[in-house]
Chains A and B, each alone.
Chain A
Amino acid sequence: MLEDLHENKVKDLEKKAELARELVIKTLLEAGSGHSAGPLGMADIFTAFYFHILKHDPKNPAWEDRDRLVLSNGHICPIRYVSMAQAGYFPIEELKTLRKINSRLQGHPHRTALPGVETTSGPLGEGLGQAIGIALAAKLDKKSYYTYVITGDGELDEGNIWESVMFAGKNKINNLIMIVDRNNIQIDGFTEDVMPLEPLKDKFESFGWHTIEVDGHNIREFVDAVSQAHAIFEKPTVIIAHTIPGMGVDFMEKDFHWHGKPPNKEEAKKALDELRTLKGQILSEHK
């Protein structure tokens, strides 16, 4: 059971998420390369995880009863690192080492480099299968921890994701909760142009999953969805979290264009390029 989320706690989490966004931008500027849009878009959800949802101990990352948070789309790791630093896994100062030599903060996260990173990830489509294995181990060992796995939406193009979706549905893995960062973008453009995913909810339901759709920037809504998922005993649950890529970067967030309608192809290209490079301040990984 998750703790009650009081209004003051929500406000506190929102503040932490704002600080997380600032830290993501500072960290990426220092690193000089990396991904911006995804980490900014997922700041609220990571904050909710590390400061309300997860049963964890930053001073004992290997605690065997901890909840597991598997990050499948490893390229958004800056937000994971930031949240971990905020939670006390390592000093905030260490964020400056991201992507640099001799750092524990690899460009894509590596399990044996940094305690608290559950799996090595980056190559897409592999986190869900691993999360299933971790959840199965909990059942074998009669442990009550939850396994959460975050994936991108473009990542769902990978065939191996659907191998895993089938497996989890068949085996009714109810201690597994998947969160899809539904931000509608991927490297070559909008997901529905590159490779349509809709109707996404129906796809999961047809494989035997319970589905919930939420606003990924509404912390209360997200926490409620996780509580609901805990109450589903006969199925795995996927929370499709609608997020705005680059949330918090003013040129994107504060322009109604990005809320109200999708940009056209040229605007999208320009916007994505600006986002990926933080307006030209860092190198895009995909150039």
Chain B
Amino acid sequence: MLNPNLKLNPKLFGPDVEVMPTRAGFGTGLLHLGEVNPNVVALSADLTESTQANKFAEKFPERFFETGVAEQNMAAVAAGLAESGKIAFISSYATFSPGKNWETLRTTAVYNQANVKIAGHHSGIMTGPDGATHQATEDIAITRCWPKMHVYVPCDAIEAKKATIASADIGTPVYLRYTRDKTPIITTEETPFKAGKIQTFWITEQPKVTIFATGYMLYNALLAAKELEEERLPVLVINMATIKPIDEEGVLEATRISQAVVTVEDHQVEGGMGSAIAELLAKTTPLPIEFIGLQNTFAESGKPAELIEKYGMGVKDIKAAVKRVMRRK
């Protein structure tokens, strides 16, 4: 059942569950930060409205910098501002930032330990009709390999706002991953959020499998858990809102009874959240794992729901993975 302590959305499984893109949470979170912290500045590379940085830009024009279509310069200018005591948020589509400007970020923000927050939008195949050029499916891999990096992937717009605000308290670079399309609201304002800690959204006493999900894919994982419960196959569903630094204790505790894992993410399975779980378990308690995500392929244009089905990331795929991993115990 849904974890009652987390005060999740009571309408979660209803037909009238609210939907909102996680990028909206970035917009409201950034605006809030602008209001409470005069050191917060924001930069955009010609995608101000799409990334929802416009709310901040309109209210704080003197602290907002438009770089034009120039993601490398945006990264370097942000690093310079951060080296001078600012908390600099840069936003663009994740394929361009941290994609196109990866080395600039590596040197000027990450190695420099400059306080830059990288907001990567249009992540995953959920980006839909724009096609694979604009669907960022490697961004977790290319940011979590950076030393001392923090990587947050919020599951809905409410958590996205909380994660955005929390990132400002970290004195070093943070990667924040957002999606374009509307996705179900899973949490509420009352749901506790702590960066760096995992949370069990679906609880059961004797789990057979632990599902780790990140981002909006958590919703599909919860739907799968509900159906599996009806089939008397109890599982745990964990919200991996922080991928790095990984909550080692939390992951080990979450797998202690089940001894089998399914990971679920809208990202390449190589190098993503599932890989992070696998790396941790391999050096502590090796367990069978099934990985849901893009399997060594780019996706294509289409409606998000169609793409999720075609690329094997839907509820039925998650259920099938749970059953496969059970057989490998």
Contact = CB atoms under 8 A, between A and B. Distances in A.
Interface in B15-73: 41, 62-63, 65, 67-68, 70, 72-73
B107 A134 contact: no
| Secondary structure class of chain B's binding surface, majority of residues | helix
B106 to A, nearest CB: 8
B89 to A, nearest CB: 13
A130 B83 contact: yes
B81 to A, nearest CB: 4
Interface of B: 41, 62-63, 65, 67-68, 70, 72-73, 75-86, 88, 103-104, 107-108, 111-113
A83 to B, nearest CB: 20
Place the interface of chain A in its size category: 20 to 34
16 contacts: A122-B107, A123-B107, A125-B72, A126-B72, A126-B104, A128-B76, A130-B79, A132-B73, A133-B81, A135-B80, A137-B81, A140-B86, A141-B85, A159-B72, A163-B70, A167-B77
Given A126-B76, A130-B108, 5 more contacts: A132-B73, A133-B88, A137-B81, A163-B68, A167-B68
Interface stretch (A49-57, A110-118, A251-259): A110-118
A135 to B, nearest CB: 8
Contacts of A186: none
Contacts of B83: 111, 118-119, 130, 133-134, 137
A245 interface: no
B85 A130 contact: no
Contacts, number: 103
B233 to A, nearest CB: 50
A125 B76 CA distance: 9
A163 B73 contact: yes
A164 B41 contact: no
State the 5 A-B residue pairs at the shortest beta-carbon distance, nearest first: A133-B80, A129-B76, A137-B84, A163-B73, A163-B70
Nearest to B103: A123
Contact of A130 (B68, B80, B103): B80
| Secondary structure class of chain A's binding surface, majority of residues | helix
Contacts of B112: 111-112, 119-120
B70 A133 contact: no
A168 to B, nearest CB: 9
B111 A138 contact: no
Contact of A129 (B68, B79, B103): B79
Contacts of A166: 68, 70
A129 B84 contact: no
A136 B80 contact: yes
Nearest to B116: A133
Contacts of B73: 129, 132, 160, 163-164, 167
Interface in A160-174: 160, 163-164, 166-167, 171
Contacts of A133: 76-84, 88
Contact of B80 (A123, A125, A134): A134
A134 B84 contact: yes
A131 interface: yes
Tell me which of B41, B68, B72, B103 has the highest count of chain A C-beta atoms within 10 A of its own C-beta. Answer: B72
A110 B84 contact: no
Contacts of A127: 76
